[in-house]
Structure 1
C-alpha cells in the first residue's frame, strides 16, 4: 500500500488528520463494545474528578451545550452518571459518575491504553518518547490556539 498523502510526502495537516481519523475509528470501535461513544468516554473521564458542572465538562470535552445535554441524557439513562444541583448555583447541575459508570470508565480507560500501546509499538522503542514529546509540545504550544480541543465545536 502506498503512503496516504494528497501532496507532499510530509503533508503535516493530512498526515495528522489521517492518524487522528484512524485512532478515532479504532477508539470508537473499542468503546462500542461497552455501549459508549468517545464523547461519552470524555464526559465520564472529566466528570470523575467531581465538582464540575455540565457546562464545565462540555467545555473540557469541546462539546456544545445541546450535544452535552444529549450525551448526559444517554449516560444518565444508562445509569452511568447522575446530575445533582450545585450547592453554590441553583441553575447549575453537577455531574457525578455512578458506581456502574466508574466500572465502564475503568474499562474504557483500559481500551484507550491498549490502543495507545498498540499504536506506539509500531514505532521503534527509541522513537516513542521523542514522538510523544514532539506531539505534546506542538499541541501545548504552536497548535494550542483556535480550533484546539476544548474549544466550542471540537470533539476530543
Structure 2
C-alpha cells in the first residue's frame, strides 16, 4: 500500500490534501458497519454494545443517564431511546437516583452482562484486525494521537456551543 506524503504547504482545504472530517467519518463508518454486521446475529447494535461495555466497566452501583451519555460521546435523546430498547430487552433497568429525584440510575442486569460477554470478543478481534494495518510499533502512539484528536474535537464542540450562547 503506497503512503501519501502529508504536505503542510497546501491549504488545509486543498483537494490534494487529506481532510480530517472525511477521514474520521470514513473510519468510524467502516468500523461501525463492520461491527454491526458481525454482531447482527446477536440482536444487538454497536451503540448497545458501547452502552453495555460502559456500564460493565463503570461504577458497580450504575451510572446516571447523563454520565452514560458523556462516556459514550452521544446525545441525551439518542441514549434515552437506546436505553428504552435495552430495558425492553431485559439487559438493564433504570432505578430512581438515591439523591437526585430528576435522575435515574442505570443498572446493568445479568442478561446485559451476558450479552456484553457474548459480543466482546467480536469487538476485540475487529479492533485487533484494524490495528494490524499499522506497524506494531506505531499502534499505541496512533491510539494516543487519535485520543488527542478526539479530545480536541470535543473541546471545539464545547467552545462552539459557548460561543452560540453568547
Tell me the TM-score normalized by structure 1.
Answer: 0.77
The residue matched to 1:82 in structure 2 has which SS?
strand
Aligned-residue RMSD, C-alpha: 2.7
**CA positional deviation for 1:29:** 1.7
With over 3 angstroms needed to count, the CA separation of the structure-2 counterparts of 1:131 and 1:106, relative to structure 1, is same
For 2:80 and 2:23, how far apart are their aligned partners in 1? 33
1:90 match: 101
Please list, as runs of the form range in 1=range in 2, the aligned pairs for 1:7-156 lying within 5 A after superposition: 7-48=15-56, 49=58, 50-140=61-151, 142-147=152-157
Structure 1's 139 and 51: CA in aligned 2 closer, same or farther, altered over 3 A?
same
Q: Determine which structure has greater relative contact order: mean sequence separation of CA pairs < 8 Å that are 6+ residues apart, divided by chain length.
A: 1
Long gaps (5+) in structure 1: 152-156
SS in 1 for 2:106: strand
Give how far 1:35 is off.
1.2
Residues 95, 104 of structure 2: 8 Å contact kept: yes
Any stretches of 5+ residues in structure 2 without a counterpart? 4-13, 162-166
Shift of 1:45: 2.1
Equivalent position of 1:154 in the other structure: none
SS in 2 for 1:63: coil
Larger radius of gyration: 2
Q: Find the residue that maps to 2:102 and give its secondary structure.
A: coil
Shift of 1:108: 2.5
May I ask how many residue pairs the two structures share in their alignment?
Answer: 145
Matches of 1:59 and 1:127 in 2, distance apart?
Answer: 28
Tell me the secondary structure at the aligned position of residue 100 of structure 2: coil
- Matches of 2:73 and 2:146 in 1, distance apart? 19
